Amino acid sequence: MKFKYVIVGAGLAGLTMAERIANVMNEKVLVIEKRSHIGGNVYDSYNDDGILIHNYGPHIFHTNDKGVYQYLSKFTKWNDFWHRVLTYVDGNLVPMPITVETINKLYKLNLSCSQVEEFLKEQAEDISEIKTSRDVALSKVGRDIYEKIFETYTRKQWGVDPGDLDTSVISRIPIRLNRDTRYFADKYQGMPSHGYTRMCENMVANKNIKIMLNTDYKEVIDQIEYDKMIYTGPTDEFYNYKHGKLSYRSIQFQFETFDKEEFQEAPVVNYPNDYDYTRITEFKKLTWQEHKKTTICKEFPCSEGEPYYPFPTKDCKARFALYEEDMKKEENVLFLGRLAEYRYYNMDAVVRRALDLFLEVSS
Ligand code: FAD
Ligand code: UDP
């Protein structure tokens, strides 16, 4: 059988492309995935106790992109979920991101919104050129809050000082001069009502789509006839590491189930300064599942293991730029997604990229 398109990787990037090619172009498409399941890192499943867990860490859908929201809404209904995070500092749980509540709780004050603005202005350091994630934090909140909330968390998460990471990392976290304690402020937020895996299954329910699981594409690609490849795996692997390895940050996920209904006060609690893990997620608080037990996940960041986060340092970006030169020369391969483009994309950004790429290839 000949396929017009072969897609490497059944994450959100690959599945969005497969869905569009199969449904809009009515072409046959083969998806090759080395894991035993579809969904990539958004995969969720029921554990032995019957609790729905996110196997690769907590995933919360949030976007301001109406097109992406409408697109995914064809495959799932949503629970109207507004994510909340607490962070454990000096023995107290305070809201993240930093809001008026956070400052008042941290410093045992009772400031108004405008007083908090003044307070942060006094704390903030004057940095002429913002070059790193450390500069971002110091220039917005000053040294004390930087040390309490960002410095050690970031060292744990990335294994380097925030001064070695580009501005994009800590810039993900807003500073709010109001009392909005939601983790994300985006217009559309939610949890797929029946989980991400069900959503992904609905995306690929089309007889034009064939999926080969448990298969590294390199083992089979020579035996497959196709016109174009859409590659969503790591770029360095595609090129047999000819310019050296790209660094990715990995995480060991440690799941624990307790014989009680509730474990913690919020869906996610961050631990910037205590323990080796960065955060604990309690899944029932994301999914609203009712169950007499509860399952949590502790995240232990590490450098070896599955590639989850592209590493935003100067050296890594320079190395990726070498690969990008090769990527531009490919005539039959399109590179897409968090691993292939080496970008710290959220789910919505990956779907947007895939929808845009589809328009390019189909026009
Ligand atoms: P992936 O999901 O990584 O898919 C790539 C697929 O390619 C994988 O399944 C992989 O097995 C496969 N593959 C690789 N090499 C090969 C090969 N040689 N042969 C065959 N298959 C191969 N985003 C949000 O919007 N909200 C969140 O709350 C959020 N939380 C996150 C928490 C964690 C811990 C992590 C790691 C990410 C989180 N994200 C979140 C980001 C989200 O996971 C990504 O944006 C999205 O999954 C990227 O999709 P992708 O298809 O590009 O990559
Ligand atoms: N961060 C931090 N303290 C926190 C939460 C986040 O220093 O309590 C920093 C850390 O460097 C992290 C980045 O902000 O990698 C982005 O946080 P986010 O919650 O977006 O991380 P993700 O969910 O992508 O792992």
Residue with tokens 């390019």: 360
Domain membership of residue 167 as a residue range: 98-171
pLDDT score for 363: 84
| Spatial contact of 339 and 307, defined as CB atoms under 8 Å apart | yes
Q: Are residues 11 and 118 in the same domain?
A: no
pLDDT score for 109: 96
Which residue's CA lies nearest to atom 20 of ligand 2? Answer: 172
Cα-based angle 290, 286, 148 (whole degrees, multiple of 5): 135
Give per-residue pLDDT as tens, 181-238.
999 999 999 999 999 999 999 999 999 999 999 999 999 999 999 999 999 999 999 9
Q: Are residues 320 and 353 in the same domain?
A: yes
Torsion of CA 97, 102, 106, 112, to 10 degrees: 140
Q: Residue 164 forms beta bridges with which residues?
A: none
pLDDT score for 87: 98
| Spatial contact of 153 and 277, defined as CB atoms under 8 Å apart | no
For residues 187 and 64, give the distance between their C-alpha atoms in angstroms, rounded to a whole number.
Answer: 5
Which of 139, 171, 203 lies at the terminal end of a domain, its last residue?
A: 171
| Spatial contact of 312 and 344, defined as CB atoms under 8 Å apart | yes
CATH number at residue 72: 3.40.50.720
pLDDT score for 314: 87
Q: Please, what is the average pLDDT of the chain?
A: 96
For residues 29 and 229, give the distance between their C-alpha atoms in angstroms, rounded to a whole number.
Answer: 10
Give per-residue pLDDT as tens, 85-116.
999 999 999 999 999 999 999 999 999 999 99
Q: DSSP E strands: which ranges in the chain? A: 2-8, 29-32, 44-46, 52-54, 61-63, 78-79, 85-89, 92-96, 188-192, 209-212, 225-231, 248-258, 268-270, 279-282, 294-302, 309-310, 333-335
pLDDT score for 312: 84
The token pair at 258 is 């307790």
Q: Are residues 243 and 321 in the same domain?
A: yes
Q: Are residues 54 and 105 in the same domain?
A: no
**210 CA → ligand 1 middle, Å:** 20
Ligand 1 interacting residues, C-beta cut-off 6 A: 8-14, 32-35, 40-42, 56-61, 216-217, 232-233, 251, 308, 337-339, 345-348, 350
Which amino acid, 58?
P
Q: Are residues 318 and 224 in the same domain?
A: yes
Pocket test for ligand 2, best of 155, 172, 248 (most atoms within 8 A of CB): 172
Give per-residue pLDDT as tens, 159-194.
999 999 999 999 999 999 999 999 999 999 999 999
- Calculate what percentage of the chain has a pLDDT beyond 90: 98
For residues 79 and 202, give the distance between their C-alpha atoms in angstroms, rounded to a whole number.
Answer: 17
Domain count, the chain: 2
Q: Are residues 207 and 337 in the same domain?
A: yes
Pocket test for ligand 1, best of 41, 183, 224 (most atoms within 8 A of CB): 41
In ligand 1, the atom with minimum distance to the C-alpha of 337 is: 52
In ligand 2, the atom with minimum distance to the C-alpha of 58 is: 23
Give per-residue pLDDT as tens, 114-142.
999 999 999 999 999 999 999 999 999 99
- The verdict on residue 195 lying in a domain is yes
**11 CA → ligand 1 middle, Å:** 6
Q: Residue 231 forms beta bridges with which residues?
A: 8, 335
pLDDT at 337 over 90: yes
Q: Are residues 328 and 214 in the same domain?
A: yes
Give per-residue pLDDT as tens, 262-317.
999 999 999 999 999 999 999 999 999 999 999 999 999 999 999 999 998 889 99
**62 alpha carbon, closest ligand:** 1
